[in-house]
Structure 1
Amino acid sequence: MEMSVLASGSSGNCIYVESDRGSLLIDVGLTCKRIELALDAINRSLKDIDAILITHEHIDHIKGLKVIAKRYNIPIFANKETWIAIDQKNIPVPSEQRFEFSPLQTKEIIGMDIQSFNVSHDAINPQFYTMSQNNKRLSVITDTGYVSDEMKGIIKDSDVFVFESNHDVDMLRMGRYPWSTKQRILSDVGHVSNEDAAHAMRDVITDRTKRIYLSHLSQDNNIKELARMSVEQVLHRYDIDTKNHITLCDTDKETPTEIYTL
């Protein structure tokens, strides 16, 4: 398995995953053109994508869906409620490209066993994914207000995590957002903070875990260095070595991460 976080943040999210039998995208929260450019930057092409997995209907996860569905004959997977929400946004997707992927279901796609699981976010029925092939495992979990024991049980013991580290609580509280927006972000259906993410990571990291991509950082209420430092401080309290055992990786809203082989 190979992967790259093409973009991550409040303005758009897209992850590339490749197996020995094909490739897919998790979310298409950028314009079609930007996704084409991001894939080109890692020497890949949207023409070769075999599937798209949608997590939920927020625009930073489906911005490119309308154009991509029109230009490329790619199978697109989402749960029933998310498809309803996409339709309500007047984003046409041809019926032959629409496939249902229910929460807690496992499907084989491009030779990988992919399991979907619900998260706690203010979308109609948000879900994320863990995928396995050849004894390698990648789990993606962002856009959740907290990480439940059920979520932890599903993603635990992964080689690589793409894990939300959305905000620094003090930056958020002192920032320019209206109080209602701050309450929403801090709520159980908002986003996890750097510290809360780290405590959840502690419960799912095992000896096989090699990388954690800190993802979906708020543009206004976080910075990469602060997210990394905050997560490191918590993990070090639990004697988790982020120098030799696990690599904490930055993600960016503009620049794809380098292709990583699990």
Structure 2
Amino acid sequence: MGLNMSVLASGSTGNAVYVETSRQRLLIDAGLSGKKIEALLQDVGRRPADLDGLLISHEHSDHIKGAGVLARKHRLPIYANEKTWQAMTDSIGPIPLDQKFTLEANECALFGDIDIETFSVSHDAADPMFFVFHHEGRKLALATDMGYVSEQIKSKVQNADALIFEANHDLNMLRMGRYPWNVKRRILGDRGHVSNEDAGKALADIIGERTQAVYLAHLSKDNNMKDLARMTVEQTLATRGFDAGSAPLLFDTDPDRPSTLTAV
């Protein structure tokens, strides 16, 4: 077994990603109910009882909703940075001390046979961070919940074999939509979310010879559509010189249905 992954759920209503090797089974974020995450894992043939750890990117509810329930029920270790622990403690409930671990942003850590790099992102949370997974020469990058894609982020996730990357909203849908202006301003700001067009521009700098798959993630329920996100990213890549033969495959993600468990 190499490095395998499934986007269990992705969107404004909840996020969770599963990553495994022969020695490690990790859940990244738990933004749905514990019961729903258990069902999603079962959909890809895995059991929550077999998980070795839960990594938390930040404290927003669409990333931690089921974290406490899963940890307590399955004796699951949780890894988060110190500021995120402080910000989410009231939301996830009591966690036994022997299940609480600190993993800071912009560090490297070894989880069994997976090397994990963490990196900071600009988002309106206490200390948000995301992850790059390395195993036997394969590289998987997870980057969502970003107001913009910094050069540091690009350098961390560049030339990954597979990317799970934010394409949160269509600019016109957001601007013309029902959200109040203060919410629109938050989403559009440097601590908000990346648009479809900006995702395409960033991916043009990130995609390398190794990159085979990009999963467009964290799509807004109200301000985006799968076909629109994919089309916008494809068109933006085309203007940067990527044609159908050179661009990686773009995959949709769903808020309540897992992607196929796939080798990176």
TM range (shorter): over 0.9
1:209-220 aligned at under 5 Å gives the runs 209-220=211-222
The corresponding residue for 2:133 is: 131
Give distance in 1, aligned partners of 2:165 and 2:153. 12
Q: Which amino acid aligns with 2:157?
A: I
In the TM superposition, residue 89 of structure 1 has moved relative to its aligned partner by: 3.0
Give distance in 1, aligned partners of 2:166 and 2:76. 27
Give distance in 2, aligned partners of 1:181 and 1:122. 12
The corresponding residue for 2:63 is: 61
From 189, 192, 205, the equivalent of 1:190 is 192
The corresponding residue for 2:175 is: 173
Partner of 2:260, secondary structure, is coil
Contact between 1:4 and 1:260, CA under 8 Å: does it hold in 2?
Answer: yes
Contact between 1:165 and 1:197, CA under 8 Å: does it hold in 2?
Answer: yes
Q: Which ranges of structure 2 fall in alignment gaps of 5 or more residues?
A: none
From 158, 166, 171, the equivalent of 1:164 is 166
Q: TM-score, normalization: structure 1?
A: 0.98
Q: Which amino acid aligns with 2:195?
A: S
**Residues 165-209 of structure 1, C-alpha deviations (whole Å, 9 max, x = no match):** 000000000000000000000000000000001111111100100
Partner of 2:141, secondary structure, is strand
The corresponding residue for 1:122 is: 124
Q: Give aligned-pair identity as a percent.
A: 47
The corresponding residue for 2:5 is: 3
Contact between 1:242 and 1:248, CA under 8 Å: does it hold in 2?
Answer: no
- Cα pair distance change 1:178/1:245, threshold 3 Å: closer
Does 2:262 align with 1:260?
A: yes
1:106-121 aligned at under 5 Å gives the runs 106-121=108-123
Partner of 2:110, secondary structure, is strand
Contact between 2:141 and 2:162, CA under 8 Å: does it hold in 1?
Answer: yes
Mean Cα deviation higher: 107-116 or 222-231: 107-116
Runs of 4+ in 1 over 3 A off after TM superposition: 241-245
From 102, 105, 127, the equivalent of 1:100 is 102
Contact between 1:26 and 1:53, CA under 8 Å: does it hold in 2?
Answer: yes
The corresponding residue for 1:51 is: 53
The corresponding residue for 1:225 is: 227
Q: TM-score, normalization: structure 2?
A: 0.97
In the TM superposition, residue 31 of structure 1 has moved relative to its aligned partner by: 0.6
The corresponding residue for 1:140 is: 142
- Cα pair distance change 1:94/1:4, threshold 3 Å: same
From 60, 79, 82, the equivalent of 1:80 is 82
In the TM superposition, residue 253 of structure 1 has moved relative to its aligned partner by: 0.3
Partner of 2:71, secondary structure, is helix
Contact between 2:65 and 2:92, CA under 8 Å: does it hold in 1?
Answer: no
In the TM superposition, residue 110 of structure 1 has moved relative to its aligned partner by: 2.8
**Residues 130-159 of structure 1, C-alpha deviations (whole Å, 9 max, x = no match):** 010100000000001000001111111100
Contact between 2:213 and 2:251, CA under 8 Å: does it hold in 1?
Answer: yes
Partner of 1:52, secondary structure, is strand
Give distance in 2, aligned partners of 1:242 and 1:127. 32
Contact between 2:34 and 2:66, CA under 8 Å: does it hold in 1?
Answer: yes
Give distance in 1, aligned partners of 2:12 and 2:244. 26
Partner of 2:131, secondary structure, is strand
Does 2:15 align with 1:19?
A: no
Contact between 2:64 and 2:92, CA under 8 Å: does it hold in 1?
Answer: no
In the TM superposition, residue 245 of structure 1 has moved relative to its aligned partner by: 4.5
Q: Which amino acid aligns with 2:17?
A: I
Partner of 1:184, secondary structure, is helix
Q: Which amino acid aligns with 1:180?
A: N
Partner of 1:15, secondary structure, is strand
**Residues 12-68 of structure 1, C-alpha deviations (whole Å, 9 max, x = no match):** 000000112121011000111101110111111101111111000000000001211
Q: Which ranges of structure 1 fall in alignment gaps of 5 or more residues?
A: none
Give distance in 1, aligned partners of 2:144 and 2:164. 8
Contact between 2:108 and 2:116, CA under 8 Å: does it hold in 1?
Answer: yes
